């Protein structure tokens, strides 16, 4: 099955699984993509509205990265450039683009945007987003649905 590549918030490439209701995003629930991270929820909600797609965020629980396909990809990349000295950003980006994993070449982009740390929404700013999203009762941190209010 060929999985399409799309662009997420801030232009980040991601792979999506389309279904009848929208898109399901599998995530490692790390500090930058956790369902409690206000900036991430805001950006995913804005993406949902911009595309008209309902988004379902399914996060792997802590210490379960072995189930996340992207985590398996890193091991293949490490083997691919084993011993190669990446003495420039350009060389690292180009070298990463030459690997294959399960017969697929990666899409490699250099993101030059500076990621600002420590930016978060206040509880008041976050309230409309929290009221809108739904969390699975038994796994509220790991299963979040964001309905689209298409504009």
pLDDT at 82: 85
Q: What is the pLDDT of residues 60-97, one digit of tens each?
A: 777 777 777 777 777 888 888 888 888 999 998 988 88
Q: What is the pTM of this model?
A: 0.62
Tokens of 149: 């209010």
Q: Are 9 and 27 in contact (CB under 8 A)?
A: no
pLDDT at 31: 65
Compute φ and ψ for 55, nearest 5 degrees.
-115, 130
Q: Spell out, as residue ranges, where the chain has pLDDT lower than 50.
A: 1-4, 10, 12-20
pLDDT at 29: 66
Our measurement of the distance from residue 23's CA atom to the centroid of its chain's CA atoms, rounded to an integer in Å, reads 12
pLDDT at 128: 92
DSSP state of 88: S
pLDDT at 21: 56
Q: Give the span between the Cα atoms of 85 and 29, in whole angstroms.
A: 31
Domain boundaries, the chain: 5-146
pLDDT at 60: 78
């Amino acid at each position: 099955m060929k999985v399409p590549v799309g662009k997420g918030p801030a232009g980040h490439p991601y792979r999506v699984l389309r279904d009848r209701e929208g898109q399901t995003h599998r995530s490692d629930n790390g500090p930058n993509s956790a369902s409690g991270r206000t900036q991430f929820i805001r950006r995913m909600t804005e993406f949902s509205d911009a595309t008209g797609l309902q988004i379902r965020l399914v996060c792997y629980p802590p210490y379960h990265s072995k189930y996340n396909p992207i985590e398996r990809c890193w091991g293949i990349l490490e083997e691919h450039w084993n011993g190669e000295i990446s003495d420039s950003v350009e060389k690292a980006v180009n070298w990463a683009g030459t690997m294959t994993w399960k017969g697929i070449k990666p899409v490699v982009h250099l993101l030059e945007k500076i990621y600002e740390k420590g930016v978060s929404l206040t509880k008041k700013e976050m309230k409309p987003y929290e009221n809108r999203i739904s969390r699975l009762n038994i796994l509220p941190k790991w299963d979040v649905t964001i309905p689209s209010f298409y504009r």
